[in-house]
Structure 1
């Protein structure tokens, strides 16, 4: 029997990058997955990659009406689910003095409000003993310049992880978070970044990450699936997948 045969999951922000890698790993191992996104081209490509056990659904995490509609789709297509991976996110770095109200509101609407209400709406559909995984970020407590709204919104998600974990204990639903560092994805996690910006961002990431490289989407997927299915005595935790960046590990001199 395949590792995840019969398992059912929902992955928000699942049409590219870390979300898609997680969905592909589940499908490859026998699971069935609904992935969400907003970009029609990405939705079509994800549907093709995932095949018949994947379902690509257009849904905007910032809209509560879309979240509610997603709940209905999940009930119709999958019934109960084993895993909810709340991965949809938005990042647009900028100096503290240049942050606009619109940028602040958009960031929190997607990363914090959307994450919270996605979990609230879909929690009744998660099997007792199932799992919720949130995507947070190494930016939660790193204090990096230019990351104000993003870091704040992801820190809120870290807090949600602990609280929801406590509230879902009676149903034995474990709630954890995966905290990526610099990861190779099509957007590098930055909305609307130019190729030049992505190149510069990648160089910085490789220089400051103790392991001197970016992680892969597949490495994030393995961490998510570990927390979801193998870490059966773990809840309320945040797993850093960041090459040592968040732990402030220093390389020996000369390396």
Structure 2
């Protein structure tokens, strides 16, 4: 895709707040998200002469149907959501539109001075 991107292009990889945390039983997931973060840092340096920016978007837990797949019943799914919300400093899950807004920012000229950055939208879970 790189040859098809024009100057001012923006690459956004979705990582996770997990790339910066040490949480038991999440080693493979965290390692793959850390790899994405590494790609972005390298691409930021490699693509600068092409006028192409690269950044990561690192969400925390977002309230999407994938959470239902972690449970057998509606009650279990509600308990999972409540547990994640209690774990998050903002005491709630992220909403899909909050991540979409962050991605739109990274894709737009409003973030034209950002490259190699990691935009963390996780309700504070990785920093508080």
| TM-score of the two chains, using structure 2 as the length reference | 0.90
Cα distance between partner residues in 1 of 2:114 and 2:80: 33
Please say if 1:233 is aligned against 2:113. yes
- Aligned residue number for residue 88 of structure 2: 209
Q: Deviation of residue 195 (structure 1)?
A: 4.0
Question: 1 or 2, which has the higher strand percentage?
Answer: 1
- Aligned residue number for residue 37 of structure 1: none
- Aligned residue number for residue 34 of structure 2: 155
Q: Deviation of residue 141 (structure 1)?
A: 1.9
Q: Deviation of residue 200 (structure 1)?
A: 3.5
Cα distance between partner residues in 1 of 2:77 and 2:20: 23
Q: Give matches, 1:1-255, under 5 Å.
A: 122-188=1-67, 192-196=69-73, 198-229=77-108, 230-248=110-128
- Structure 1: state its 5+ residue gaps: 1-121, 249-255
Cα distance between partner residues in 2 of 1:131 and 1:201: 35
Cα distance between partner residues in 2 of 1:195 and 1:144: 24
The structure with higher relative contact order (CA 8 Å, sep 6+) is 2
Q: Deviation of residue 208 (structure 1)?
A: 1.1
CA RMSD of aligned residues (A): 1.6
Give a deviation string over 1:188-211, Cα, whole Å, max 9, x none. 3x8x53344643431221001111
For 2:86, what is the secondary structure of its paired residue?
Answer: helix
Give a deviation string over 1:28-51, Cα, whole Å, max 9, x none. xxxxxxxxxxxxxxxxxxxxxxxx
Cα distance between partner residues in 2 of 1:130 and 1:160: 16
For 2:90, what is the secondary structure of its paired residue?
Answer: coil
Cα distance between partner residues in 2 of 1:128 and 1:195: 48
- Structure 2: state its 5+ residue gaps: none
| TM-score of the two chains, using structure 1 as the length reference | 0.47
Count of residue pairs brought into register by the alignment: 125
